[in-house]
Amino acid sequence: MKRIFLLAGIVLIIVCLAFKKTEQEQNWIRINQLGYTPGGIKVAVWCSKENKLPASVELVDEATQKTVYTINGLQAFGTYGPFNQTSRIRFTAYSKPGRYFLKSGDTKSPVFAINDDVYKGAADFCLRYMRQQRTLFNPYLKDSCHTRDGYTLYGPMPDSSYADVGGGWHDASDYLQYSTTSANATWHLLAAYQQFGHVFTDTKKANGLDGKNNIPDILDEAKWGIDWLMKMNPSDNIMFNQIGDDRDHMKMRIPKEDTNYYGRGIERPVYFVSGKPQVRGKFMNATTGGASTAGKFASAFALASKLYEKKDAKLSKQLYQKSLAAYAYGKKMPGVAQTASVKSPYIYAEGNWVDDMELAAASIYYSNPVKNKSLLNDAFNYAKQEPVTPWLGKDTAHHYEWYPFINLGHAVLASSLPKQQRDTIHDYYETGIKGVWNKAKQNAFYRGVPFIWCSNNLTTSFAIQCFAYRKMTGDNNYSELEQANIDWLFGCNPWGTNMVYGLPSWGDTPVDPHSAFTHLKQYPIDGGLVDGPVYTAIYKNLIGIKLNDPDEYAAFQSNLAVYHDDYGDYSTNEPTMDGTASLIYLLAAKEDEANPIPGWHTGGFLNQEPHTTVEARALVRGDSTKKNIALVFTADEYAEGLPVIQKTLQEENIKASFFFTGRLYRNKQYQSLIKQLFQQKHYLGAHSDQHILYNDWKNRDSMLVTRDSLERDYEYNINAMKQLGVISPNRIPYFIPPYEWWNKRIGKWFAEMGVKLFSFTPGTRTNADYTWPEMGTSYKSSEELMQLLRAFEVKHTLNGAILLIHAGTDPRRKDKFYSYLPTIIRELKAKGYNFSKIDNL
C-alpha cells in the first residue's frame, strides 16, 4: 500500500512539474515527428505566445551538436489558435541524412530524422488497427463476435428475416458497421496495393493470425472487406446499408461481450437500402435514394475485379458482374442513403451521391479490358454535376455530409479521357485545392481544412487529392500544402501531437483514446487514426462529453479548436476504421515516393510522366531519375552567338533545341545558319512571332492577349518556319513562351492546339544571361551564372533539367554566357550527364 501511495505521489509531482514547465514555456517548434525525406519538403512551424519571431533558426546535428544549416528571414504569419505569433521554418534545401533538431535561443524542437526510410513500415503498422476492427473472427482477440448478424429491416423480405452478414470491420470504437465506410475503406486498401504494393509485407495469414501466405497483408485485409461487401450485397436486388444502430452505445465493452441491446439476443438489425427515409429516433433520416451506397459497392467490386484478374479469374468475373449490378442499382435509385439512428441525433448525414456514381462508372470502365464508352460518358457527366467536393474551401459541413470527403472518381476517370476532357478534370481537382489553399496560406500551419467532426479524415483525404493532382499533372505548385497536411497528422500542429496511436513509437501519440480496448483492457490500438481537433464551439455543444483526467494540452486549447487525449472526448480522440484505411493509402504513397520500385505504377490509374515537373501546364523538368539534360537556345532580335553555339555542339557531338521568333526566322542574316542547324538534326521550334507578352508581370492571371491574337501570332511563327523549310513532317510541336512567362490559361490554350508548352528548370539561373551591368543587382556575370549552376547541380542534380541559354544578347552585355558552352558541356559530361533534344527528354 505504501508503494502505491509513493508511486501516486511521484506521478503527481511529475504531472505538476510538467504543467509548470508548460506554463513557463512560451515558444515551441512543431515538427513532423516521423521525420523528413532528403528529397522532400521540410517545414517546421514556430509558435510563440510572446508575439516573438526569431531572427534565425538553426538546424543542429544531434550527433555533433553543430549547426549545419541556418534559416533566416522568417515570415510572420501572426496569431493562430493559442499563439500570438507563428512562422514557417523552411529547410527543404538541406538534404543530408541524419538526426537533427531545430533551435532558436532556448527553444528546441524534438529530435527528428532526415532519411529515405522515415515512412518505411508506417502503412503496414496502421494495418494492425484494421485487423483489430474485424468482426466474426477477430485475430487480435483470437475470439469471435457478432456471430448472429442479423435480422432485416426495411427490405422487400419480411422484417426480422435472418440475413447472414457476419464479417467486415467495426466502424470505430462502437461496433456498428456501415457499407459506405467499409466500401470506401476497401477501395483505399485495394488502391494502395495496386499502386504501392511493394511497400507491404507478408507476416499474417488471411485470418489475421501470425504466419505467411504469400499474399501481402494489405491484400488480405482488402479481401476481408470484399468478402463482407458481397454478403451485404448478396444478389442484384438486395443491398444492405448498415448493421446495428446507436443502441450499441449503451455500454463500452469488448466486442464478444454483446448482450441483448436490440431485444433479439445477440442478433443486430440489418438496414436495407430502400431509397426511402428510415428511423432516426423521433425523426426520420433524409434518405433520398440509394446511389451513394450502391456506387461505393460498385467501385470496390470493380477495382477488386481488376486486381484478381490474374490471381483468381472466377472471382474476378464474379466481382465484375457484381459491380455492374450495383451500378445499375444506383442508377435505378439516384440520391443519398443516410444511416439510421434510434436514440441520438448523430448519423452519417451524407449529402452527395454523384461522386460515388462517377467513381463507380470510371472504375468499371477502367477494370474491364472491353471498354464500354457509355460508362465513360456517364462518369464524365457525373463529374460535371459535382466538379468540386462542396466542403473544399468552406468553414463547416455536417458530419460525413460530403463523403468520402474527396471525389476519388476524378482521379480514376482522368486517365481514361482524351486530353481536353482530362484537363477539365484536372481543373476540377485544382479548383478544390485552391479553395483550401486560399484559407491555408493565411496561417503558418497551412491549415485550410475545417475543424468539423473527423477533421483528421478530411485532412488525410485532402492530402490524397493534392497527391493525386500532382501525380496526374506533374504540377508541384501545391506540394508544400500537401505536405503540410501530412505534417499536421504527425505533430506539426498546435498541440504538438501525432494523431495515430503508437506512430511513431518515440513520438507524442494518443495514449487514452475513446476505445474500449484501451480503456477497459489496456490493449493498444496500434495504427488507429483518431478523429482529430474540432471547433471549440462544436465541442461545447456535444452531448455526453466529460474529460476524465487533467488536460495535458490545456496550454494549446483555444477559442478556435480543441483536441484532447482523453477517453471522455469521443469527438476528437476516437479512432475510425475508414480514416485509418485512407491513411494507409497515403502512407504507402509516401513510402513509395521515397523508395520507388519501377513497375508497380504501371497498373495504377494515376497515369503520369514519371518524375517530371510541370508548372502552369508547362514542362519545366524532365525525368528527375535520369541523367539527361536538354540544352535550349532562344533568340529574337539578337542571335550573334549562333556560330559559336553550332561549332561547339558539332565538336561535342550533341544535339540541342532552338526556339526562334518569326522575326528571326525571316531575318536573312541568320537563315543559312538556321537551315544548317535543321540539317544537323537539332530540334527547331517556335518562340512566338513578335515576342509578345502574354500576361501581366505582377498579376500573372491577368491576360494581355486574347486567344485569337495568341493563335495568330503562333501561326505566323510556324509559317515563317515553313517558308524556310525547317519543319519536320512528324515532329511533335514544342513551344517556349516569350519571356518564359505564361499562366495556366495559356497552358490550356496551347494544349488544346496540340502544342506542348515548356520552359527552363527553375533555379538553374542560366536564363539570366540576357542581363547587362546597367541593370544593377539583376545583372549576373557569366562567372556568377556558372557558380549558380554548379551549386544547383550539387543540391538538386540536373537530372531532367532544361537549361536555357540565349543565342544572342543586347550589345550592352559584353560578357557572353554562350562562350562558356564548351565548359558547361565538358563539366556535365564528366559528371555522367547526357544531352538530348527537348522532344526526347
Tens-digit pLDDT profile for residues 785-810 = 999 999 999 988 999 999 999 999 99
pLDDT at position 602 is 40
pLDDT digits (tens, 9 = 90+) for 128-173: 999 999 999 999 999 999 999 999 999 999 999 999 999 999 999 8
pTM of the model: 0.83
Indicate the average pLDDT of the chain: 93
pLDDT of residue 120: 97
Q: Looking at the predicted structure, is the pLDDT value of residue 708 above 50?
A: yes
- pLDDT at residue 372, rounded to an integer: 87
Question: Which pLDDT band holds residue 605 (cuts at 50, 70, 90)?
Answer: low
Give the residue-averaged pLDDT of 96-106: 97
pLDDT cut 90: percent of the chain above it: 84
- The CA radius of gyration of the chain, in Å to the nearest whole number, is 30
- pLDDT band of 18, cuts 50, 70, 90: very low
Q: Write the CA distances from 72 to 30, 95, 137, 537, integer angstroms.
A: 17, 17, 56, 37
Residue 387 clears pLDDT 60, i.e. is over it = yes
pLDDT attached to residue 25: 86
- Judged against a pLDDT cut of 80, whether residue 19 lies above it is answered with no
With beta carbons less than 8 A apart as the criterion, state whether 232 and 238 touch. Answer: no
Residue 606's pLDDT is 65
Check residue 598 and give its pLDDT: 61
pLDDT per residue as tens digits for the range 637-662: 999 999 999 999 999 999 999 999 99
At 635, which helix (H) or strand (E)? Answer: strand 628-635
- DSSP secondary structure, 80-132, as one string: BTTBSEEEEEE-TT----EEEEEEETTEEPPPEEESTTTTTTHHHHHHHHHHH
- To the nearest 10 degrees (0 to 180), the angle between helices 821-830 and 782-796 is 20
- The pLDDT of 326-355, averaged and rounded, is 94
Statement: residue 7 has pLDDT above 60: no
Predicted local confidence at residue 11, as pLDDT: 41
Inter-axis angle of helices 744-752 and 707-724, nearest 10: 50
Could you tell me if 357 and 402 are in contact, meaning their C-beta atoms sit under 8 angstroms apart?
no
Does the pLDDT at position 492 exceed 50?
Answer: yes
Q: How confident is the model at residue 604 (pLDDT cuts 50, 70, 90)?
A: low
Inform me whether the pLDDT recorded for 21 exceeds 50.
no
What's the pLDDT at 15? Answer: 41
* Mean pLDDT value across residues 16-27: 57
At 235-252, the pLDDT tens digits run 999 999 999 998 988 888
Q: How confident is the model at residue 280 (pLDDT cuts 50, 70, 90)?
A: confident
The secondary structure element, H or E, covering residue 56 is strand 56-61
Is the pLDDT score of 713 beyond 50? yes
User: Which range (258-267, 285-294, 442-451, 603-612) has the least confidence?
Assistant: 603-612
What integer is the mean pLDDT of 341-361? 93
User: Residue 607: its pLDDT value, please?
Assistant: 55
* pLDDT-based confidence at residue 10 (cuts at 50, 70, 90): very low
State the average pLDDT over residues 756-779.
95
Q: The cell 431485444 sits on which residue? A: 263
Query: Per residue in 724-750, pLDDT tens?
Result: 999 988 788 999 999 999 998 999 899
Q: Are 116 and 235 in contact (CB under 8 A)?
A: no
Structure confidence at residue 249 (pLDDT): 83
For residue 170, give Cα distances in angstroms to 130, 350, 522, 532, 636: 9, 19, 19, 19, 67
Asked if residue 686 lies in contact with residue 717, where contact means CB atoms within 8 angstroms, the answer is yes
Query: Average pLDDT, stretch 404-408?
Result: 97
What is the pLDDT confidence band of residue 258, given thresholds at 50, 70 and 90?
Answer: confident
Q: DSSP of 436-453, one letter per residue?
A: HHHHHTTSTT---S---T
Q: Tell me the mean pLDDT in the region 460-488.
A: 94
Query: How far apart, in Å, are the Cα atoms of 235 and each of 90, 238, 556?
Result: 55, 5, 52
Nearest to 441 by CA among 478, 469, 387: 478
Would the CA dihedral through 122, 128, 129, 135 be positive or negative?
A: positive
Q: How far apart are CA 782 and CA 289, in angstroms?
A: 68
Nearest to 33 by CA among 120, 96, 109: 109
Region of poorest pLDDT, from 264-268, 378-382, 495-499, 610-614: 610-614
Residue 116: pLDDT above 80?
yes
- pLDDT at residue 190 in the model: 97
Contacts of 555 (CB under 8 A, 6+ apart): 22, 23, 25, 82
Question: Residues 838, 736: contact at Cβ < 8 Å?
Answer: no
